[in-house]
Amino acid sequence: MKLEVVRGGSGPTVLLLHGVTPFGRDAPFLRLLGQAATVVAPSHPGFGDSPRPDDVETVYDLIHVYQDVLDALPDEKVTLVGCSFGGWLAAELAISHGHRLARLILVDPVGIKVGGREERDITHLFNTHPAEMARRAWHDPARQQPGLLGLGWQQHIPAMSDEELVRMARGWDALCVYAWRPHLYNPRLARWLRRISVPTLLLWGASDGIVAPGYAEAYRDLIPGARLQFIVDAGHHPDLEQPGAVVEQVRRFLGS
């Protein structure tokens, strides 16, 4: 299987799993993280320039893909960082493939069900107006622009190049395939998070309106010994809104 991968930096190896949009090569978060670690940042199958084979159509197919990726890395153990949708993947990997991990960092992960059957824990990404999505996802929606896109990206279609639009549309289509039903969670994940045994740090945008109140604390409480740190002036994408603050927390955790 072919994967588009951005690599760079120096230091301990970090496998970085992106959220709803892949990281561009010039993303400030990648540049800053590369000053503290050797970064390996793939685009999920169907995102960016990574093809999606017809038989890769569930989150659990992605988990198996990244088990292969972890086993292919030369390091005995690596730090796994996952953002949003990638945070869900990272949590699943830490349960099933934790022997390949030294540390786990989850940035505004989704993937668990906290409320009751009729309660919505996560804003419906596919049935919410882009302007409302941006309002909920960003502390300051004005920070989102072509080249720095997260939830609500459709508002910027008129300013996007054809190449960028195709990449975003492919990723959105793939996200629908993987995460439409159930919407962005595994109903059994919460039960098994207790099996994560590596040091775990959760970083959360203090203004994240994509998830329900208490979601971050629930995630923390389900992972033994996990620490939760809020990032001020950031919503669901602190890696995009406050990359310096996120990397500083990562740097401290790597050195702890």
* Number of domains the chain is built from: 1
Extract the tokens encoding 20. 């709803």
Average predicted confidence (pLDDT) for the chain: 96
Q: Any bridge partners for residue 15, and if so which?
A: 40, 80
Q: CATH no. for residue 172?
A: 3.40.50.1820
pLDDT in tens, 6-15: 999 999 999 9
Check whether 28 has a pLDDT greater than 90.
yes
Residues of the domain holding 92: 5-255
**What are the CA-CA distances from residue 163 to residues 21, 48, 153, 167, 175 (Å)?**
14, 10, 15, 6, 19
pLDDT in tens, 141-195: 999 887 788 999 999 999 999 999 999 999 999 999 999 999 999 999 999 999 9
For position 112, what pLDDT does the model report? Answer: 98
- Kindly state the helix (H) or strand (E) to which residue 106 belongs, with its residue range: strand 101-107
For residue 37, give the nearest of 7, 16, 18, 14 by alpha carbon.
14
For position 94, what pLDDT does the model report? Answer: 98
* DSSP result, 131-172: HHHHHHH-SSGGG-BTTB--TTGGGGGGGS-HHHHHHHHHHH
For position 147, what pLDDT does the model report? Answer: 78
